[in-house]
Structure 1
Amino acid sequence: MLKRSGGTARLGRWLAASGALFLASMLAPAVQAAPSFVAFESGHVRPLALSSDGSRLFAVNTPNNTLVIYNVTPAGIFKHAEVSVGLEPVAVAIRNSNEVWVVNHLSDSVSVVSLSGTPRVTRTLLVGDEPRDIVFAGSTGRAFITTAHRGQHRTDPSIASVSGAGDPQLTTPGVGRADVWVFDPANLGTSFGGTPLKIMTFFSDTPRALAVSPDRKTVYTAAFKSGNQTTTVFELMVCDGFDPNTPCTFAGNTLPGGNPGPMTNFEGKRAPETGLIVKFNRASGHWEDELGRNWDAAVRFQLPDQDVFSIDANALTQKASFSHVGTTLFNMVTNPRTGKLYISNTEAINNVRFEGPGVVGGSTVQGRLAETRITVISGTTVASRHLNKHIDYDLLAHDPGFDPTVKNHSLSTPLEMAVSRDGRKLYVAAFGSSKVGVFDTAALEANTFNPVSSSPNYITVSGGGPSGLALDESRNRLYVMTRFDNAVKVINLSTKAEIAALPLFNPEPVQVVTGRPLLYDAVDMSANGEAACASCHIFGDNDELAWDLGNPDDLVTSNPIPIRLGFAALNTQPRINGTGVVTDFHPMKGPMTTQTLRGMRHHGAMHWRGDRSHGFFGTDAFDPELSFNNFVVAFDGLIGRSTLPDLNTMQRFTNFQLEVQLPPNPVRNLDNSFTAAQQRGRDFYLGSRRSDGAPPAAGPGTGFTCEGCHRLDASQGFFGTDGQASFEGLPQIVKIPHLRNAYTKVGMFGFPGMPFFTTPDTGNTGNQIRGFGYLHDGSIDTVFHFLSAVLFAPTPEVGFPAATYEQTRRDMEQFMLAFDSDIAPIVGQQITLTKTNAAAVGPRIDLLQARAAAPFTSKTLGGAVTECDLVAKLTLAGTPRGFLYNAASDSFVHSGSGIDVPDALFRALALISGQEITFTCVPPGSGARIAAVP
């Protein structure tokens, strides 16, 4: 077998110069392998782009990991080419007539696609975690890309000299978590993943959307899940049991008193003691609950709620920030005439308590989870416009006088927008409504539009899930990406009729395709046409908020889940679960953070308490399918649907959602190794010392190691939980949670010292970016402070070791942020080899090959696998080809003919101009499918 060495260099050059055409002639046309697909549910941001002359339309095919290029002609629209890019492409932007850039959400990369000759990827840029959007701006056409303030590329030594690169400071208070990577397209640098001019960081959570001013001098960037100045007061500080009108003293702080009530459900059974969601009142300057009581003494930080930032595209400096734009910000666009900025967003109503009819509790968010809005920024003025202001939220679906036609005028989940050249008309893709909204911009800005009248009007789009728009005014057309059927639709703007449909190849399993709409659909699945499961579970994930979705009008039910610490420890808790019965699920449960709907297949019953183990379709402590089906009651009690979906409908939803996986951990090293601190934390986590509970002398079942409670067993799909519950001194029994996405909760810092924690009061820590952190209700700011609970306190026999108490907690925090997951960190990673960058890129290719050979265990991906399959794509003698790496022979196998090319010779193919090779680590089992040429 030929190895990489100087002795094979001449042979490699010969093959590159003389043998490429011969090899290409031998390769049979590619044959699509049996599909193997892993769903990630990445949300579209900018999936369509139309060339300035209107001759070409570009569309990302997210499930197929490709860019599709269409020729737009008077005779129709025809597919010109399809280019393999990275995993989960979500945005495309045109640099010039010869080049487009594609943002790959899962690959943490940007594909530079040349349109000269056979379209192909000529360079892969590596950026921060989960990039989402891209624009070109400034006098030299710089590229701006949004990413999270984390990821392995951010700390790569090759860009250490770049301003803004380096440590993401995951445990440092007051650090912005929104990054914009800026590149000079004319000089991408010599580092293997490209060298950005600058990495700009902004004081908000992870960003999503970008927009450019009409003069191209200003770039706008926006936080995605920005929050709304709400947080949770820790349950012990709420002083439950006190009259809500009588102040109490706790840990030296004077607090307003108990929970606002009611104290029981309709059966008269006492509710558990819980935390309380409070919201910052900008008028009074205080943290207040629904009674207007001041909770400043319980909150140790401020939330400036900065949502949108403007950037000088030439100086690369922040110009201004804009607050209170929305809770979840999706897309932005500028008016080409006025320069006004439009932001599609939703505003969460999580400060209102309870689901259900609201009879006993006196309030409910039924049907009003998050209002659909467009916010207009003009100069320094921020003005939000509720697009569904025709909805009467006081009328629920079962109430007399409710108008069932109200949904016909509603829009849900507003994504990409487009503005006409004259600036007078705004189009918005309503992802959950199968519509495109059409607004007169003057009426929108003045808030004089009437959603029920003929203006604005709506364009109905077949296929469902409109996510992207491209306006072709010269032909009076609108191109619409529809994600549910994975297609591009052509709309005649004069007739508002669909005149063509361009389907994109979709390798997704049928259960993914048919079940996806149930997550987002606000037309069939709600009463008012605005609410959907995705109102809180954004793209199947979460909204980074806490909600109090108890229901005082509901029954107390029974908990079938085993409790790991046993009942002996609970006998001293007469008010456990409120009722004093350890196996009760009380319908009033207090604030709980929204959990991700990703990666749930092997983690048992759902919800923080596991209370969906008992429900409409039956009871089982560990069955995830039954548990998800039991969410059926939320369509009535929470979303506001007039009737419950049937079992077949819920099973479709279940079959889809249990397929969706969490992304790879962006904190863990790409070779799946640990830093020294992470390794020390892991050693303690898996070690023999009991970290909590009573000392061993107290008897069996009264103390556990970290892993003994938070199970870590990849062969069983356990990543922090095996589905059992636990008692850890909380007022109610909760299920032991998984730990795979702890890194996403960083950004809240400020802890009010109190009994049962060894951490002292931090004092006011100033401005932070998030109002919710760890624990079921998000009330604990950091993992480090959570681990200061007295049950972890050092003793001679159990708890964290006294000699290294603080350091062990720091190490454990580092391990939690890099926790094991179903999918290896290398999955999605890619690089492009060219004729000039072999020295820089070679070691990264070596890494990809090593991880493709490294054993890995993932029940989700089939058990004993390797960390990834390595796919290579190139244009060989003008024809796109795909290869799959064979680690056993250190060679690449053509996906169609099976021809085996030794690694050294395969790399040598990149020596010919136009034959750049892009290597991508894909989920194990999907390599054969992805290697096939589209």
Structure 2
Amino acid sequence: MEDLEVLRRAFEVGALASRREIIMGMQRFFVARLFLVGLLAQSALGQGAIEHRKFPPLKGPYVKLTDNFRDHTNFNVETVRGMASARDGTFYAINTHGSMLVWFADGNPEPAGNWGTLNNPVSLAVFDQLAFVVGGTTHALAVHDRFTGEILSVVSLPSEPGDLVIDETTSIAYICSQAENVVVALDVSDPYGIREIERHVVPGEAPRFLNLDTHPVSGERVLIVAPMLSGNNTVPRRGRSGVHVTLEAATGDIYNVSGLENGGLPDEDLIVLPLVGGVRPAQLSSGREAGTLMLEHARNPLTGEYWALTVDLHNDIAGQRGESELRGIFATNALSIFAPDALSAPRDLPDRIIDLDDEDPFTAGPQYSASSAVSFPYALTFVPETSSTLGGWGFIASSTGDRVAVLDPNGNRLGTLPLPAGAIPRDLIVDEMATSLGVYCWGTNEILVFLLADLTHPPIVLALGVDPTPASVKAGRAIFYDADPSLDGHVTCASCHVAGGSDLLAWKLSGLDDDQKDIMVTQSLIGIQDTPGYHWREERSVREFNGAFVGLLGHDEPLDESPGSELDNFVDFLFSLQPHANHEQSRRRVLDDAITPQVFRNGLSGSAVRGQDVFLFPTVLERPCGACHLPPSGTAGVSVADGALALPRAQTFGVAHLRQLNHRDQDIVVLSDPILGPDDVEIARGGFGLLHSGVVPDILAFAQGFKAFTPQQHADMAAYMHQYDQGTAPAVHVAIQLDVQGTEVAEERIRDLLLRQARRGWIDVVATGRTTVQGQPRELRWLYRPGPGGNEGVFEPDGISAPNLTLAQLSLLAQAGIANYVFLGLPPGNGEMWAHDRDGDGLGRQAEASLGTDPEMTDTDGDTFPDGYEVLHGSDPLVANASVNDTTPPVVAPGFPWLDHTAATFAKFFIECDEPVRLAVEASVAGGPTHQTMVRQPARRHTVVIQGLDRSFDGGVQNRYVATIRAIDLSGNETVSQLEFEMLEACRGIEALVVNDLQWVRTTPMGNTLDATAEILVEFERDAPFQLPAPGQVVVAQVFYRTDPIDPWRLVSNVNSTQLRQDFDIRTIEEDGAITVQEYNVLPGPFLLSPPTDAQGRTLITFNVPDPGVPPGGALELRLGIQAVLERSPGHTPAVPVFEYSSIEVWSMPATASEHRGVEFAF
């Protein structure tokens, strides 16, 4: 125990040199901890019933944290309410990308003013003399003077706020939180004394859109909320284990429970909340069965009907099993219309649902066209009923179709307004006089104003200003949100990966018939750069998802894969996506038991501090949880076997990271139905919870799946996972105002919460606001520069003539009434662009003004060189140049490249240079392959993750890599740096097998028949230079055919071969030593069984395929697909094959390269 305390203290002070020492420490103390915990467990069992005991709350550091270090961090904040009109005719908008409040006046398309506001504003409202801005990344509300832009006050909000609406009759603002599933009500009557009055829990996931409504029948004023991820009443049905069950029984299924006696899940799509002062009833009024993803909603002012936009997802199509069967048809973009008297009782149903993609609903059958589809209908507005000719007309923004649909008051389609490619419209507004329609284009960062009197007239363009998103990320964003190339223009990646995240549904996505899978919940794409590999089974690299554009979305062609083109841009966008911080962790980024004081469902309170110990140190298990779910992301980048499913291709799953668990940890609903099982079943409220199949309802249930732990340890681990760090410091979302009110308190908060974390490298700190200079107010932005040796530093202004000031000096100015600032936390590396160089061209605001360059364009003269780069090297930024006279290599900043962490298969590092650079990285181990990683988007700061590396092994086989990093500037000058790092060991208890070669050695076609022989190499899961052949293994294969490249593979049932067997048996040694032999039924035959691999791990499969029948115009292809690599049992013969059950999990399909899982032949 003394040694254990030494190790614990080493964790706390960061004394361990590497996490390899942590893992070794875990293993070293395994025996002692196992003995101790065993005694404690026996003692606990002897006490009978569990008694809840409170423990004094503890605080402690995380063992390992990570961040992302970039010039610009992309939280992908999707604007909710981007425009607002004032009664005096002035017009306001937020620039979500550029973090600005923009003011337009007198019909002028040029802004009358633009002012800094919270980071990535998401919603806006104008009331009286004020503009209210909700921050999307800064989780706060800023109150601006709408004429001067000055921020009068800032109020913290719950995590990931969304919509904002203000009841002007009571001066109460309502704001929803998409992470905490609440709506807060704020009294905004006094801009300097805003206070929270009420907080409503929303019984649904991710509420985004709000609407203040007066019910046309009852006259009651209410707030209607739409949980964006509302589910569709589908739940998982667990598969059955065992080799004797059929494929349909072994793999899970998706079951719609709306027909149950109690209506199944709540599935409430619209929820009616009382306004402040009202009484919340025991059961809220609601609307259900409107759709799966709920978007903007409002009441038609002419008809009184309630309109709700939705994307309805089809994950429960009868008989569907394969991905190809969902191609382009897995979503319907719809308008659900409720009758005027609806939404006054629980669970009201829509009066009708209109397929928005059907351009002519009066013609039999859907009339679809990509040019008119209303994909992902996001925003909705109406012409006021006061308009004599257009009253009640509706406009719907197709956010992934770049168009606006025009509908009559009954919901009938009248026409379409086309928008520029990549517009991605997010908000619509009709002015009170019903003369114009404003369209907020999030993708192109502009507002288009159409005249209602002539919608065919070209719109007026209102520019919102700079979008600092890197060019490749912008291009990738346009691909992600573009439905037009899909089948009939219906769907995009965003249809399921909502805002880059997850729809919280499971899907049946088998690759028929060759690659059968279990049901799988949509995984989030946010924060995946440092959590490889990808897909639940980790069988794909991120680039291999290109096939889904054709196979699932229905594109005619995959993305262009040439360097720097579509696929590179798409990957850049995906890898840019970063998660918000965990709202359940301390803002100080430490484990804090006081934050999770609730009693869990097992009757116990959990300690996150103790839970980290249980998670990371061996106790009753051979390896701790953290050996696989390795901090900081929660994954070591490896896969493990799941013994429940006797399907070799679906047996191995990647170790899932532990980020964004809070988004999948839902309330529990208990259902009873024979299809789900003989007993009551606990289901996550939205239908699907944790694990690949969603069958585990919440975090505690996941912890309880490990039966060896005590109930207290279950609670402790659950508390720890509730506070698991997301790779983003919570202080990134903090805003603190420093003005004449409460200056000393604010100063201490800034110093304690923001500056302290900036000195640790977790965040950047900036300030924006007013400073009075020579009697004139000036808007300045300031960037905090930490001092050397951990000392407090200074704030550097964006004005050339202003001096650097300390926080204490800024505080004195505020106390004297000379300054008013809002201090913001930002992700590390973001501060310089946010405070000094909004367009990222290397020039500050004052320098741009003196040079005449455009402060909102990186490259004013359009010659591909940033303005600052040209100025630095003596070129004119206003004259296009073919080249710049730069012969100086970039300088790598001191302390860089900096290795952040390694896992078993990837390494993450940061690098900073004195100028924008591209990166070319080559990592190799002696005698092994070289892994190349390219970063093509120039920037000064980069986060790089080298993927696909080879793990170290038990027994002293250490893989130590050398990474050569070439930093290349815009003129081609380069500087070379190196990093050395050692890979960690995998956590898998067995050494897996992989197929490392599969190729034809003979193919003899004759017409549509084929005689063929393929050679297969089976090795242990080790890469060069440590390969070891695996002799004595039998490869199980099947032959498939198709006659069209977009068709699924179908099993050939009439293969001829001496190696052919219709079935085989599996021998199982039970826990009590009993031996059973059963026929393997999980996959239907026939099978080709190879001879055992030789001493070099090689074997041959020979077969003949008769003509399967090819339709006219078809093109026959055959595929030999590997299904298993099995170990022979005692008594096995080629005539009566019997294999060991334990070998089902030995072949690692994900670790086998995709070209070695099957080989194809085209006639």
- TM-score (norm: length of structure 1): 0.72
In the alignment, which residue of structure 2 is the partner of 1:749?
668
In the alignment, which residue of structure 1 is the partner of 2:701?
785
Matched ranges for 1:514-533 at <5 A: 514-524=475-485, 526-533=486-493
Whether the 8 Å contact between 2:359 and 2:368 is mirrored in structure 1 is no
- Amino acid of the structure 2 residue aligned with 1:385: I
Match of 1:663 among 565, 580, 586: 580
Shift of 1:822: 1.9
Task: Indicate how the Cα distance of structure 1 residues 924 and 47 shifts in structure 2: closer, same or farther if over 3 A, else same.
Answer: same
Alignment of 1:147 with 2:177, yes or no, is yes
Whether the 8 Å contact between 1:137 and 1:219 is mirrored in structure 2 is no
Shift of 1:362: 11
Match of 2:337 among 372, 376, 388: 376
- Amino acid of the structure 2 residue aligned with 1:221: V
Structure 2: how far apart are the matches of 1:62 and 1:538?
Answer: 18
Comparing 471-480 and 867-876, the one that deviates more: 471-480
In the alignment, which residue of structure 2 is the partner of 1:501?
461
- Amino acid of the structure 1 residue aligned with 2:610: R
Match of 2:429 among 442, 447, 470: 470
Task: Indicate how the Cα distance of structure 1 residues 689 and 362 shifts in structure 2: closer, same or farther if over 3 A, else same.
Answer: closer
In the alignment, which residue of structure 1 is the partner of 2:235?
231
- Amino acid of the structure 1 residue aligned with 2:272: S
In the alignment, which residue of structure 1 is the partner of 2:547?
633
In the alignment, which residue of structure 1 is the partner of 2:353?
385
Whether the 8 Å contact between 2:152 and 2:191 is mirrored in structure 1 is no
* 1:145-179 deviations in Å (ceiling 9; x for gaps): 011463xxxxxxxxxxxxxxxxxxxxxxxxxxx31
In the alignment, which residue of structure 1 is the partner of 2:634?
720
- Amino acid of the structure 2 residue aligned with 1:331: E
Matched ranges for 1:148-167 at <5 A: 148=178, 150=180
In the alignment, which residue of structure 1 is the partner of 2:272?
310
Alignment of 1:185 with 2:188, yes or no, is yes
Structure 2: how far apart are the matches of 1:128 and 1:845?
Answer: 19
In the alignment, which residue of structure 2 is the partner of 1:829?
734
In the alignment, which residue of structure 2 is the partner of 1:46?
81
Structure 2: how far apart are the matches of 1:909 and 1:496?
Answer: 54
Task: Indicate how the Cα distance of structure 1 residues 707 and 312 shifts in structure 2: closer, same or farther if over 3 A, else same.
Answer: closer
Structure 1: how far apart are the matches of 2:700 and 2:227?
Answer: 26
Alignment of 1:210 with 2:186, yes or no, is no
Alignment of 1:69 with 2:37, yes or no, is no
Alignment of 1:136 with 2:166, yes or no, is yes
* 1:47-95 deviations in Å (ceiling 9; x for gaps): 1122234x3222211121221111242xx32212222222221111112
Whether the 8 Å contact between 1:92 and 1:100 is mirrored in structure 2 is yes
- Amino acid of the structure 2 residue aligned with 1:747: Q
* 1:399-427 deviations in Å (ceiling 9; x for gaps): xxx99972122111111111001242001
* 1:881-902 deviations in Å (ceiling 9; x for gaps): 1112233244322133362212
Task: Indicate how the Cα distance of structure 1 residues 933 and 93 shifts in structure 2: closer, same or farther if over 3 A, else same.
Answer: farther
Task: Indicate how the Cα distance of structure 1 residues 107 and 385 shifts in structure 2: closer, same or farther if over 3 A, else same.
Answer: same
Structure 2: how far apart are the matches of 1:843 and 1:274?
Answer: 57
- TM-score (norm: length of structure 2): 0.58
In the alignment, which residue of structure 2 is the partner of 1:875?
770
Which consecutive residues of structure 2, in runs of 5 or more, have no partner in the other structure? 1-68, 343-348, 386-390, 594-606, 646-650, 839-1163
In the alignment, which residue of structure 2 is the partner of 1:893?
796
- Amino acid of the structure 1 residue aligned with 2:609: Q
In the alignment, which residue of structure 2 is the partner of 1:159?
none
Alignment of 1:814 with 2:719, yes or no, is yes
Structure 1: how far apart are the matches of 2:679 and 2:711?
Answer: 16
- Amino acid of the structure 2 residue aligned with 1:870: V
Task: Indicate how the Cα distance of structure 1 residues 439 and 818 shifts in structure 2: closer, same or farther if over 3 A, else same.
Answer: same
Match of 1:708 among 627, 637, 643: 627
Whether the 8 Å contact between 1:83 and 1:119 is mirrored in structure 2 is yes
- Amino acid of the structure 2 residue aligned with 1:600: I
Counterpart of 1:386 in 2: which secondary structure? strand
Structure 2: how far apart are the matches of 1:42 and 1:783?
Answer: 27
Shift of 1:841: 3.3
Comparing 206-215 and 430-439, the one that deviates more: 206-215
- Amino acid of the structure 1 residue aligned with 2:200: M
Task: Indicate how the Cα distance of structure 1 residues 235 and 187 shifts in structure 2: closer, same or farther if over 3 A, else same.
Answer: farther
Shift of 1:363: 8.6
In the alignment, which residue of structure 1 is the partner of 2:258?
281
In the alignment, which residue of structure 2 is the partner of 1:109?
140
Whether the 8 Å contact between 1:436 and 1:458 is mirrored in structure 2 is yes
Aligned residues, how many? 713
Identity over aligned pairs, percent = 24
- Amino acid of the structure 2 residue aligned with 1:896: G
Task: Indicate how the Cα distance of structure 1 residues 896 and 915 shifts in structure 2: closer, same or farther if over 3 A, else same.
Answer: closer
Structure 1: how far apart are the matches of 2:274 and 2:668?
Answer: 30
Counterpart of 1:909 in 2: which secondary structure? helix
Structure 2: how far apart are the matches of 1:61 and 1:362?
Answer: 38
- Amino acid of the structure 2 residue aligned with 1:891: V
Task: Indicate how the Cα distance of structure 1 residues 437 and 112 shifts in structure 2: closer, same or farther if over 3 A, else same.
Answer: same
Shift of 1:818: 1.3
Matched ranges for 1:434-833 at <5 A: 434-442=402-410, 444=411, 449=412, 455-461=414-420, 463-472=422-431, 474=433, 476-493=435-452, 494-503=454-463, 504-524=465-485, 526-553=486-513, 555=514, 587-612=515-540, 627-647=541-561, 648-676=565-593, 677-689=607-619, 691=621, 703-713=622-632, 719-731=633-645, 732-749=651-668, 763=680, 769-789=685-705, 792-794=706-708, 800=709, 805-833=710-738
Structure 1: how far apart are the matches of 2:432 and 2:145?
Answer: 26
Shift of 1:868: 0.7
Whether the 8 Å contact between 1:35 and 1:507 is mirrored in structure 2 is no
Shift of 1:532: 0.9
* 1:821-860 deviations in Å (ceiling 9; x for gaps): 32212112112223223355344323333443442xxxxx
Match of 2:114 among 82, 95, 100: 82
Task: Indicate how the Cα distance of structure 1 residues 149 and 929 shifts in structure 2: closer, same or farther if over 3 A, else same.
Answer: closer
Structure 2: how far apart are the matches of 1:232 and 1:146?
Answer: 29
Structure 1: how far apart are the matches of 2:459 and 2:168?
Answer: 37
Task: Indicate how the Cα distance of structure 1 residues 785 and 500 shifts in structure 2: closer, same or farther if over 3 A, else same.
Answer: same
Task: Indicate how the Cα distance of structure 1 residues 35 and 868 shifts in structure 2: closer, same or farther if over 3 A, else same.
Answer: closer
Structure 2: how far apart are the matches of 1:439 and 1:387?
Answer: 12
Structure 2: how far apart are the matches of 1:867 and 1:421?
Answer: 49
In the alignment, which residue of structure 2 is the partner of 1:425?
393
Whether the 8 Å contact between 2:185 and 2:196 is mirrored in structure 1 is yes
Structure 2: how far apart are the matches of 1:885 and 1:325?
Answer: 49
Comparing 223-232 and 338-347, the one that deviates more: 338-347
Task: Indicate how the Cα distance of structure 1 residues 39 and 354 shifts in structure 2: closer, same or farther if over 3 A, else same.
Answer: farther
Whether the 8 Å contact between 2:731 and 2:754 is mirrored in structure 1 is no
Whether the 8 Å contact between 1:51 and 1:57 is mirrored in structure 2 is yes
Counterpart of 2:381 in 1: which secondary structure? strand
Whether the 8 Å contact between 2:295 and 2:377 is mirrored in structure 1 is yes
* 1:669-711 deviations in Å (ceiling 9; x for gaps): 00011124111111222224363xxxxxxxxxxx422121112
Counterpart of 1:871 in 2: which secondary structure? strand
Shift of 1:382: 2.1
Whether the 8 Å contact between 1:139 and 1:217 is mirrored in structure 2 is no
- RMSD between superposed Cα atoms in Å: 3.1
Structure 1: how far apart are the matches of 2:355 and 2:212?
Answer: 24
Task: Indicate how the Cα distance of structure 1 residues 749 and 217 shifts in structure 2: closer, same or farther if over 3 A, else same.
Answer: closer
Shift of 1:601: 1.2
